[in-house]
């Protein structure tokens, strides 16, 4: 996928962070994720970027020695509606900064904040009034805002789930263009079976964004047509769709190498059987996400329950999302049998490549020094652009 227009916002944020870059230093890790594999490594960081990577070398002489855990690229969450009491759809500048800083403290160094179905005018206003974390009065490193994930309102009534179907529309040019014209959208989720969806998919891709299928009743044939039109992602596999693996969206996801597969491996949205099946059939294309939220989802409150730790629900009992951060989802995925290197790759390189980013998601020369040490309790220590995040 070519570079997204949402990169403009990120470049501005990078400039805002430029005064906070670190001095030159090195990190030596007994275990590090390099090219999708766990190996020992020494890396050098200069002015916020990785300037040298040496694998399988003695690491004790580095400025920072990592004897435990795994040194990983920072995590990238492509579907997150909020965190703590902050909801991205109505977050002001200070709340956005706080949310992005909170995410960084959990090893999430980049994200595509999500907005669910709402009146189109409200979505456009929310996108346009946000500063995307571009300017900051604070001096704390925070996750990069890679552009918004607009999940709706071009969805299927049949699979509305936690969305309010009264806001649903066909993805006509009149409805879609105001959203795309902001230049701050990285992903648009839609139902390919809606009238005008194929043209919409082409427009989304032409705008440099990802076109993703979700909350959809699309058949296998409709999926094939959508993929030909440019569809290149699946939003939260198994959730908001028919769960028949031999038909429809899931069959297309299995067979189509073009599709990156967003997946919530938290034991709530998907149990161990689905987690094992998904990684067995699409492991290299899975992008782990949280579908996390704050105190609200859209215009309705959510609640948590001790019976399902980490889950968040509508008052009617509908699963609305999670309260987990991506490092916590990773721990759950690994506990359900996903190999460590594969799990970490699905939270780093896979989403980065889907978004057309080569400067994040990997430990390699030229990439940003967005790094986290991942251990048994989640992210232990994190750097954003070479600047350490204070816990």
What is the per-residue pLDDT for 171? 98
pLDDT tens for 258-283 read 999 999 999 999 999 999 999 999 99
Predicted confidence (pLDDT) at residue 138 exceeds the cutoff of 70: no
What is the per-residue pLDDT for 2? 38
pTM higher than 0.85, yes or no?
A: yes
Q: Which fold has domain 74-361?
A: TIM Barrel (3.20.20)
Pick the closest to residue 194 from 237, 155, 231 (CA basis): 155
Helix (H) or strand (E) holding 48, with range, is none
What is the per-residue pLDDT for 60? 75
Angle between helix 173-180 and helix 197-206 axes, rounded to 10 deg: 20
The tokens describing 223, both together, are 């999926």
The tokens describing 167, both together, are 């806001």
Mean pLDDT to the nearest integer, 321-338: 97
pLDDT tens for 218-246 read 999 999 999 999 999 999 999 999 999 99
CB atoms within 10 A of CB 23: 9
Helix (H) or strand (E) holding 370, with range, is none
What is the per-residue pLDDT for 238? 98
What is the per-residue pLDDT for 56? 76
- What angle is formed at CA 212 by the lines to CA 284 and CA 258, rounded to 5 degrees? 40
Q: What CA–CA distance (Å, rounded) separates 189 from 150?
A: 6
């Amino acid at each position: 996928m070519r570079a997204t227009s949402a990169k403009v916002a990120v470049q501005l944020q990078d400039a805002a962070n430029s005064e906070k870059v670190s001095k030159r230093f090195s990190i030596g890790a007994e275990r590090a994720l390099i090219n999708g594999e766990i190996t020992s490594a020494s890396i050098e960081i200069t002015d916020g970027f990785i300037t040298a990577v040496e694998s399988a070398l003695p690491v004790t002489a580095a400025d920072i020695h990592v004897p435990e855990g795994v040194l990983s690229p920072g995590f990238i969450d492509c579907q997150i509606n909020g965190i703590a009491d902050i909801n991205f759809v109505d977050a002001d500048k200070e709340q956005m900064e706080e949310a992005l800083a909170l995410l960084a403290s959990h090893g999430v160094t980049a994200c595509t904040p999500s907005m669910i179905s709402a009146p189109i005018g409200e979505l456009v206003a929310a996108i346009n009034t946000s500063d995307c974390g571009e300017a900051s009065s604070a001096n704390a490193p925070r996750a990069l805002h890679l552009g918004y994930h607009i999940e709706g309102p071009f969805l299927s009534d049949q699979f509305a789930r936690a969305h309010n179907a009264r806001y649903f529309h066909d993805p006509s040019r009149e409805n879609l263009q105001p959203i795309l014209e902001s230049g701050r959208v990285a992903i648009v989720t839609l139902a390919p079976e809606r009238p005008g969806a194929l043209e919409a998919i082409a427009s989304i891709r032409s705008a440099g964004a990802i076109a993703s299928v979700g909350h959809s009743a699309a058949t296998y044939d409709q999926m094939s047509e959508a993929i030909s039109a440019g569809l290149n992602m699946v939003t939260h596999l198994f959730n908001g769709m028919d769960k028949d693996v031999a038909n429809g969206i899931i069959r297309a996801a299995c067979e189509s190498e073009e599709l990156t597969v967003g997946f919530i491996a938290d034991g709530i949205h998907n149990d161990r059987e689905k987690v094992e099946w998904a990684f067995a059939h699409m492991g290299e294309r899975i992008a782990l996400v949280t579908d996390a939220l704050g105190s609200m989802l859209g215009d309705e409150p959510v609640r948590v329950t001790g019976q399902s730790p980490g889950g968040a629900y509508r008052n009617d009992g509908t699963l609305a999302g999670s309260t987990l951060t991506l490092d916590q989802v990773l721990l759950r995925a690994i506990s359900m049998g996903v190999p460590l290197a594969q799990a970490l790759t699905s939270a780093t390189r896979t989403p980065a490549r889907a978004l057309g980013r080569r400067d994040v998601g990997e430990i390699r020369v030229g990439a940003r020094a967005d790094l986290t040490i991942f251990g048994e309790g989640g992210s232990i220590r994190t750097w954003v652009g070479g600047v350490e995040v204070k816990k």
